[in-house]
Copies of this chain bind each other. A is one copy, B any other.
Amino acid sequence: MTMDNNQTDGLSSQPSDIEKEALQQKAEQQDISAQDSEKLQKTIQNMEENQPQENVHYNLPNELVTRASLVIDANRAAGQRIAVAESCTGGLVMAALTEVPGASDVFDAGFVTYANQAKIDLLNISQDVIETFGSVSLAVAWAMARNAVEKSDADIAVAITGIAGPTGGDERKPVGTVVFARARRDADPNEVVAEQKSFGDLGRSGIRLQAALCALSLLMPDASISQG
Q: Which residues of A contact B (CB under 8 A)?
A: 1-7, 9-10, 57-61, 64, 81, 84, 86-95, 97-99, 101, 103-104, 107-118, 121-122, 134-137, 151-153, 161-168, 170, 173, 203-206, 208-209, 212
Please name all residues of chain B whose beta carbon is closer than 8 Å to the beta carbon of A99 when the two chains form the complex.
Answer: 90, 204-205, 208
A166 CA to B101 CA, complexed, in Å: 7
Contacts A60-B60, A91-B94, A108-B118; A2 near B135 (Cβ below 8 A): yes
B90 touches A97 (CB 8 A): yes
Shortest C-beta distance, A204 to chain B (Å), equals 6
Q: A4-B164, A7-B166, A108-B117 are in contact. List 5 more A-B contacts (CB 8 A).
A: A10-B204, A90-B99, A101-B165, A111-B111, A121-B153
Please name all residues of chain B whose beta carbon is closer than 8 Å to the beta carbon of A88 when the two chains form the complex.
Answer: 3-4, 98
A170 CA to B114 CA, complexed, in Å: 36
Shortest C-beta distance, A83 to chain B (Å), equals 8
Listed from nearest, the 9 A-B pairs whose CB atoms lie closest are: A90-B98, A91-B94, A109-B118, A1-B134, A91-B91, A5-B167, A91-B95, A110-B112, A95-B95
Contacts A94-B112, A112-B94; A168 near B3 (Cβ below 8 A): yes
Contacts A6-B167, A101-B166, A135-B2; A64 near B57 (Cβ below 8 A): no
A60 CA to B11 CA, complexed, in Å: 19
Please name all residues of chain B whose beta carbon is closer than 8 Å to the beta carbon of A59 when the two chains form the complex.
Answer: 60-61, 64, 92, 205, 208-209, 212
A110 CA to B90 CA, complexed, in Å: 9
Q: Please name 11 pairs of A and B residues whose Cβ atoms are closer than 8 Å in the assembled complex, sorted by A.
A: A2-B135, A6-B167, A60-B95, A90-B95, A91-B93, A91-B94, A91-B97, A91-B110, A103-B114, A107-B114, A109-B121
A120 CA to B203 CA, complexed, in Å: 38
Shortest C-beta distance, A178 to chain B (Å), equals 9
